[in-house]
């Protein structure tokens, strides 16, 4: 076996921590892509050659995966409130509805509409209106359970999906 343990750390510059009380890392290899691998035991020249050939591609794949995850997260969230947007939220509602039908568990759905919100925007401006929406979201998050889904359905309309909530 050419190494007892490998530590692969982030694809951006970072510190490596072995996490054990054994001897400090004795062999360390770095690549221009920012991926850093360290070994607790010295590696063989053959192992180093294999790593030199494969890890640059691995670093690119890891970076692409992290970028994809970030894009998915950004695409699912409303930029003003930080809650799910309509498209992603309705997808979650569909998933929860299917789960409820299959399991026989209840599913609660609430729709919130802030009355006279247009008057707030017209009277005090959109910045104040944005703060009102953000305050409503903060208040809703404080009372929702873990697993409940809050989504911004429209301008001042929100839907809350409450898995397991009956009467």
Q: Is the dihedral of CA 49, 68, 96, 80 positive or negative?
A: positive
- From residue 30, give the alpha-carbon distance in Å to each of 7, 11, 52: 12, 11, 9
What DSSP element (H or E) covers 130? helix 126-143
Residue of 22, 32, 95, 156 with catalytic role: 156
In the residue annotation, 156 being an active-site residue is answered as yes
Of 61, 27, 53, 29, nearest in space to 42 by CA: 27
Catalytic (active-site) positions:
156
């Amino acid at each position: 076996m050419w190494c007892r343990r490998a530590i692969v750390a982030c694809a951006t510059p970072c510190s490596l921590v072995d996490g054990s009380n054994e001897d400090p890392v004795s062999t360390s290899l770095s690549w221009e892509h920012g991926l850093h691998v360290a070994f607790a035991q010295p590696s063989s020249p053959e192992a180093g050659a294999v790593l030199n050939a494969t890890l640059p591609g691995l670093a690119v794949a890891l970076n692409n995966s992290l970028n994809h995850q970030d894009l998915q997260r950004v695409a699912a969230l409303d930029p003003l409130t930080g809650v799910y947007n309509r498209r992603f939220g309705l997808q979650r509602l569909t998933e929860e509805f299917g789960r409820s039908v299959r399991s026989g568990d209840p599913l609660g759905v609430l729709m919130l509409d802030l009355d006279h919100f247009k008057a707030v925007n017209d009277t005090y401006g959109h910045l104040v209106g944005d703060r009102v929406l953000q305050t409503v979201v903060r208040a809703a998050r404080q009372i929702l359970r873990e697993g409940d889904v809050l989504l911004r359905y429209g301008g001042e309309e929100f839907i809350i999906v409450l898995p397991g909530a009956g009467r």
